[in-house]
A and B are shown apart, each in its own frame.
Chain A
Amino acid sequence: MTDLAFLSITEAARLIATRQLSPVELTEAYLTRIEALDHLLDSFVTLTAERARAEAKAAEATIMASGPISRMHGIPYCLKDIYETAGIRTTAMSKLLADNVPTRDSFCQEKLVAAGGVLLGKNATWEFAHGGPSWDILFPPARNPWNRAYSPAGSSSGSATAVAAGFAPATLGSDTGGSIRGPAAACGISGLKPTYGLVSRRGVIPNCFSHDHAGPLAWTSEDLAILMQIISGHDPEDPGSANVPVPDFTAALTGDVKGIVIGVPVSWLEEDDPPKPATKAGFDAALEVFRGLGCSVRPVKLPPLRQFDDAKKTIAVAELFTIHAKDLRSRPEMFGASLRYRIIAGGLVRAEEYINAMRMRTDLARAMQGVMETVDVVMLPTSEPAGKLEPVPPSSLFTRSSFTTPFNVGGNPALSVCCGFAENGMPFSLQIAGQLFDDATVLRVGDAYEKATPWRNQRPFLAVTETA
């Protein structure tokens, strides 16, 4: 058997179902690895080892008696520390929530518990999933397992780090402008921002409620499909939740993408924010793989990238201020400098300006759906490969554009997968966005790409002898 810590959910579930692997053994493998190596990466802020051992033991007993109840039964996972967990501290990395112990699980955590998953702990994030990286908040920022001097991006940074490092096969993050896809890209794993409304945000500490999405990160798109099957579904307690049928995500992974039409937003890549030559070359090589699989590629024209950023960030700064107004007025020193800078000006945004930004968002979302009707998926790089982990001027939030934010504005499903490695060893990333509520096609395309390329065979190396 291969190293247990590097089993995918798919592989581990098969071994557990056939009694070749014990959930207790698998859980111990992850706990041992986390305890030996996470001091190098700071991907966990809370480890729930005793709970995990108890859940694994219970799962093992049930599986031995009557078989697994889901493909996550007996499988360890972790959660970004903005997912509320009953009886377990949930901090959002903020000094304001240092002692916050929720009394109820988030919707997604309830689903994972019901599926028989084994909670290993809570992952590092940027403060309130928005400001970072920061060194003046409750915990240090996570580091990139491909090179500890590099950033895992944010804000689901600890989540992506944990999966890439072999600390857990599954985790949940959140994505308001790219916070699942960016860290997935930086850490060379797979991350899905589902269609807005497909996964409930109930019990997920908000960033900006009009653009927040909850979603999974894992080593492969196939594993994301397993997680999506468990966490998707209508929740009347989330006003944004959609009451739509949940497809069979795993059954959709046929491996066949022949005939798929891929749109490439050429103006974004050539005029608005051209990627670096190596990143563009990696993207072009990925398109060639899809042509070889029988897909066609055509240019599409979307509104300028900056318009998406202007609308989303104007809305976000106003919503964030509203959420944190009381604390910003009474104890602003409790926020990290990065987050405070990024939200405090939201108090000065007038209602007319917020509403005009919302109107612009509606126009942009319509334009996005108009283009999406002409293709099956849109592809582009998720981001540049990760840079060094170092303080970033907080003003950059307002001045730099992003390839991920447009799909938050549109609400479309968007997946990031690894598409190779740069000369310095850091992963390249491919973003695959789809039509609203067609997350299954997005996962099918990502899965076909991962199975047609060698990138899932390469893992970061962490030596136990290294010191922090």
Chain B
Amino acid sequence: MTNTPSHDEIVLLARQAGLDLPPEYLSELIEAYRNVRRMIDRIPTGRPRGDEPAHVFVPATFMPSGE
């Protein structure tokens, strides 16, 4: 994905997300996604294979109360 995704790229992504939007909402989505894309592009990637997973399952969370 490029830093400034094209109209057609965003329409394709929207369809893949199940969003079949009327034109007025599609233009909204395109502007919003370009803003989101700028944030995503600033997030570091290429982390080591053994990097700690982002989500850690903590079984204790699901133990019955009082245990």
Contacts and interface: CB of A to CB of B under 8 A. Distances in A.
B51 A359 contact: yes
Given A340-B25, A341-B31, A356-B43, 11 more contacts: A341-B28, A347-B17, A348-B36, A356-B47, A357-B40, A359-B51, A359-B52, A359-B54, A360-B44, A361-B54, A395-B32
Contacts of B21: 332
A293 interface: no
B35 A399 contact: yes
Contacts of A399: 35
B19 A362 contact: no
Interface string A206-250: 000000000000000000000000000010100100010000000
B50 interface: no
A329 B18 contact: yes
A348 B54 contact: no
B54 A344 contact: no
Interface residues on A, range: 35 or more
A349 to B, nearest CB: 7
A449 B4 CA distance: 48
A342 interface: yes
Contacts of A234: 65
Given A325-B18, A345-B29, A310 B43 contact: yes
A457 to B, nearest CB: 43
Interface residues on B, range: 35 or more
Interface string A28-67: 0000000000000000000000000000000000000000
A347 B52 CA distance: 25
A395 to B, nearest CB: 5
Given A309-B39, A310-B39, A355-B54, A347 B28 contact: no
Interface of B: 10, 13-14, 17-21, 25, 28-29, 31-33, 35-36, 38-40, 42-45, 47, 51-55, 60-65
A313 B25 contact: no
Interface in A446-467: none
Contacts of A394: 32
Interface in A324-347: 325, 328-329, 332, 337, 340-342, 344-347
B4 to A, nearest CB: 14
A288 to B, nearest CB: 37
Contacts of A337: 28
14 contacts: A236-B63, A236-B65, A310-B40, A313-B36, A314-B36, A314-B43, A321-B17, A345-B32, A346-B36, A348-B29, A356-B44, A359-B47, A360-B43, A395-B32
A310 B47 contact: no
B38 A398 contact: yes
Given A348-B17, A359-B54, A313 B32 contact: no
Given A340-B25, A355-B54, A347 B39 contact: no
A311 B35 contact: no
Given A236-B65, A332-B25, A340-B28, A348 B14 contact: yes
A353 B43 contact: yes
Contacts of A314: 36, 39-40, 43
Contacts of B25: 332, 340, 344
